Amino acid sequence: MEWGATKETLLAFLGVASLLMFAGSLLAIPWLVTRIPADYFLRHQHYVDRWKPRHPVLRLVVLTLKNLLGVALVMAGLAMLLLPGQGVLTMVVGLFFLDFPGKLALERWCVRRRGVHQAINWIRRKANRPPLMLPPRERAASRSVTTADRYGDTEDTE
C-alpha cells in the first residue's frame, strides 16, 4: 500500500510541476524573447561583462546565479519536450543565460532552425518588436569550393 501512495504523490507532484512550468513558460519566454536586441546575432562582441568593475565576490555570485538560471531553463525545456510547454524555446532562452566556449555558434545554430526562428519572430511581432536579424550563412562560401580545390588538384590544365 505504501508504494501505491508514493506513486500517487509522485504523479501529483509531476502534474503540479508540469502545470507550473507550462504557465511559467507562457509568461516568461515571450517576455525574455522580446528583450533580445534585434541585432544580437550580427554583433561581433556579445559578452560585455558589466559586473567586472564591481566587487569580485558580487561578480562571481551574479555570474553563478545567471548560469544556474540558464541550466534551470535548459532542464525545464528538456522536461517540456515531454510535458506541456514551450520546450525548444525554453532551451534556447536558457542558452542565452549560460556562459561557455562556442555559445554564440550554438545559439546561431538553434535560432536558424526554421521553426524556432519563426516562433521567435512571431512572438516579437506580437509585441511590436522588430524580427531577429541573422548573419548570412557561413556555409555558402564553402559550397563554392570546386572538386579540384577540395582534393588539392589546383594545376592549370591549359
pLDDT at 118: 92
Burial of 21 (0-12, 13-18, 19+ CB in 10 A): buried
Q: Parse the chain into domains and list their residue ranges.
A: 2-135
pLDDT at 44: 65
Q: Please, what is the average pLDDT of the chain?
A: 77
Contact 130, 138 (CB under 8 A): no
pLDDT digits (tens, 9 = 90+) for 47-100: 556 667 778 888 888 889 989 999 998 888 888 888 776 788 788 888 888 888
Nearest to 30 by CA among 128, 155, 135: 128
Nearest to 33 by CA among 135, 137, 118: 118
